[in-house]
């Protein structure tokens, strides 16, 4: 790849063949990647973070859902250049070492998964929801999870899992109530 690299300031920067610095799950990564690679490919192929799945590849199915600055986004429709300087979170950063996140435990308990392929995306979408609304209503859950497709569970158990996690999280961390709600 060629690039007419110019310096910063008001000049445009071109990072064709440069190393990119990304912040993922609180860690800094230096990646030898073209800015025009898809973030999903960089996560999976360059960094080995294969928890983020590719389903449809056209932004419809939600399996590649990640958080960018706390907001759910689609890794298959994002170039890695657009991810630079932003806080990326993937499913690999959700558990605390060996301890599952309450959302992960409740998906297991409520049977919110069967084959598991869509689950990383479901968890990330749910995580974004609960940060925004610690005690979501059923319709808020339905709205927030729209476009995260699951071909196994029939969705009710996913909704139940999110409700259980919300109840657990607000009970154990009551100070989180109402934070960041819109």
Partner 1 sequence: MDYLEPSDLEEACRLAAGGEDAVVLAGGTAVVLLMRQHLLHAGRLISLQRVVGLDQIAETSEGIAIGALCTHAQIAGSPLIQQTYPVMSRAFLSVASPRIRNQATIGGNIALGDPHFDPPVMLLALGASLEIRSPGGSRMVGLHEFFHDYYETDLSEGDIISRVHVPLRAPSSGSSFVKYMTRSQDDYPAVDVAVHLELDEAFERVLSARIALGSVGPTPFRSEPAEELLVDRGMSDDAIQVVAEAAASSTDPPSDVRASAEYRRDLVRVVVQRAIRSAAEDARGRAL
CB of 108 to partner 1, least distance (A): 24
Local structure of residue 100 (DSSP, 8 states): P
Our finding on whether 108 is near partner 1 (CB under 8 A) is no
CA–CA dist 32, 72 (Å, integer): 25
Bridge partners (DSSP) listed for residue 70: none
CB of 119 to partner 1, least distance (A): 16
With CB under 8 A, what is the number of residues at the site for partner 1? 41
Q: Which helix (H) or strand (E) holds 170?
A: helix 156-172
**Binding partner 1 by CB under 8 A: which of 147, 163, 167, 176?**
147
CA–CA dist 84, 126 (Å, integer): 24
Helix (H, G, I), strand (E, B) or coil at 66: strand
Structure tokens at 112: 């919110």
Q: Which is nearer to partner 1, 79 or 100 (CB)?
A: 79
CB of 104 to partner 1, least distance (A): 20
CA–CA dist 35, 119 (Å, integer): 28
Tell me which stretch binds partner 1 (CB under 8 A): 21-29, 45-53, 76-84, 87-95.
76-84
Helix (H, G, I), strand (E, B) or coil at 79: strand
CB of 70 to partner 1, least distance (A): 10
| Site for partner 1, rule CB under 8 A | 1-4, 9-16, 34-36, 38, 57-60, 62, 65, 68, 71-74, 76-79, 81-82, 125, 128, 143-144, 146-148, 182
């Amino acid at each position: 790849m060629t690039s007419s690299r110019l310096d910063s300031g008001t000049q445009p920067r071109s990072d064709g063949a440069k190393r990119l610095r990304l912040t993922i799950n609180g860690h800094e990564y230096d990646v030898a990647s073209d800015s025009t690679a898809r973030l999903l490919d960089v996560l999976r192929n360059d960094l080995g973070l294969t928890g983020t799945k590719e389903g449809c590849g056209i932004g419809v199915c939600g399996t590649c859902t990640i958080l960018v600055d706390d907001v759910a986004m689609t890794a298959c429709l994002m170039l890695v250049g657009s991810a630079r300087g932003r806080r990326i979170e993937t499913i690999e950063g959700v558990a605390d070492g060996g301890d599952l996140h309450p959302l992960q435990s409740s998906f297991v308990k409520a049977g919110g998964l069967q084959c598991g392929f869509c689950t990383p995306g479901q968890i990330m979408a749910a995580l974004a929801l609960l940060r925004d609304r610690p005690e979501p209503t059923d319709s808020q859950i339905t709205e927030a999870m729209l476009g995260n497709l699951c071909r196994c569970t029939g969705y009710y158990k996913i909704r139940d899992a999110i409700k259980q996690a919300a109840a657990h999280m607000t009970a154990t961390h009551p100070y989180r109530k109402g934070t960041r709600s819109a």
